[in-house]
């Protein structure tokens, strides 16, 4: 589930990005019933090899097969900025992606950091079949995809095996409750190597009851946190996405801040005292108390 904007904006270092091969003819519209609803692939009139993926009208992913470094959604570009900043340019990473969609972020990481080993977990088998058929991965991409529950996959992942865990899991337009607890946050910490990063796409609005609980979860597990969001969202003026970044070691905050501020839709990075102020008296959320992220207001993310 994502913000949609009309301004083209790619991220990444062009000296290390690979535009990828041409897979063939222009894409065509597709509508199919998948496990979690009605999925649609809507080709972009300006990009013949690009399409928007929606499920029940909610935007899930956008992919340009010929330009995998192009990220259409604002939140995806912010995650892309983090992926660019967490290691020296071009260095391969071992990544675990929870939530697949059309595989926009795995494609991006594979293009900007060739040789990366990536595992993608997506619960919706029907959606995976649709993406494999109409938005295939390039040969030798280093990306493996499997159908499984995100939490089960995270808890069974090898300990300290991932450089980065990216969580972009939405059931329709909400993060499922079993992915919002402190126990889930501890599983994320166990899967990461020393210095590794957990990155999550979340969504909320003032008074940020859900988001504050999520921050409390990760503050109890990780030594360093930051939150990336549009200023209007942070000021409580509208519902929107917020990208959480967590690590046991220092985050490259100046580089992340520089990149997100230079984006076509600038964002702000909250950390340190300002982030602690946002958390306030929020406590970690136990499994038995966990709830899904809030329902977006009507029209917040839907596509006609």
Q: What is the pLDDT of residues 174-192, one digit of tens each?
A: 999 999 999 999 999 999 9
Instruction: List CB contacts of 75: < 8 A, sequence separation 6 or more.
Output: 2, 3, 201, 241, 243
User: Quick one: tokens of 226?
Assistant: 């930051």
Could you give the dihedral angle defined by the CA atoms of residues 264, 235, 228 and 12, in that order, rounded to the nearest 10 degrees? 0
Instruction: Decide if domain 30-289 falls under CATH 3.40.50.150.
Output: yes
pLDDT in tens, 261-290: 999 999 999 999 999 999 999 999 999 999
pLDDT value of residue 304: 41
pLDDT value of residue 26: 81
CA angle 197, 198, 200 (to 5 degrees): 140
Could you give the dihedral angle defined by the CA atoms of residues 230, 236, 241 and 245, in that order, rounded to the nearest 10 degrees? 70
Instruction: With a cut of 70, list the residues of the chain below it in pLDDT.
Output: 1-24, 299-304
pLDDT value of residue 299: 65
Alpha-carbon distance of 23 to 219, in angstroms, equals 43
By CB atoms closer than 10 A (0-12, 13-18, 19+), residue 36 is middle
Can you tell me which residue has the tokens 């970044």? 245
H-type alpha helices, 102-143? 104-112, 125-134
Can you tell me which residue has the tokens 């029940």? 56
pLDDT value of residue 48: 86
Give 137's DSSP letter.
P
């Amino acid at each position: 589930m994502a913000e949609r904007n009309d301004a083209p904006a790619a991220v990444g270092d062009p000296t290390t990005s690979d535009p990828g091969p041409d897979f063939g003819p222009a894409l065509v519209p597709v509508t199919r019933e998948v496990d979690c609803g009605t999925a649609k692939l809507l080709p972009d009139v300006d990009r013949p090899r690009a399409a928007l993926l929606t499920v029940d009208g909610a935007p899930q992913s956008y992919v340009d097969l010929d330009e995998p470094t192009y990220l259409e959604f604002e939140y995806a570009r912010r995650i892309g900025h983090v992926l660019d900043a967490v290691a020296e340019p071009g260095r391969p990473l071992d990544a675990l992606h929870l939530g697949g969609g059309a595989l926009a972020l795995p494609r991006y990481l594979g293009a900007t950091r060739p040789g990366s080993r990536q595992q993608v977990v997506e619960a919706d088998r029907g959606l995976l079949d649709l993406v494999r058929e109409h938005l295939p991965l390039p040969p030798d991409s280093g990306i493996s995809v499997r159908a499984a529950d995100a939490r089960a996959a995270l808890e069974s992942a090898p300990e300290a095996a991932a450089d980065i865990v990216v969580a972009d899991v939405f059931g329709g337009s909400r993060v499922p409750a079993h992915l919002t607890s402190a126990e889930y946050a501890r599983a994320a910490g166990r899967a990461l190597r020393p210095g590794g990063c957990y990155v999550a796409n979340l969504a909320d609005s003032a008074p940020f009851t859900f988001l504050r609980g999520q921050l409390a979860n990760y503050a109890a597990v990780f030594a360093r946190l930051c939150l990336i969001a549009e200023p209007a969202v942070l000021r409580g003026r509208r519902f929107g996405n917020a990208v959480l970044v967590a690590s046991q070691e220092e985050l490259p905050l100046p580089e992340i801040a520089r990149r997100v501020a230079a984006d076509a839709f600038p964002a702000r990075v909250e950390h340190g005292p300002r982030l602690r102020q946002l958390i306030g008296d929020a406590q970690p959320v136990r499994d038995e108390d966990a709830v899904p992220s809030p329902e977006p207001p009507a029209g917040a993310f839907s596509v006609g």
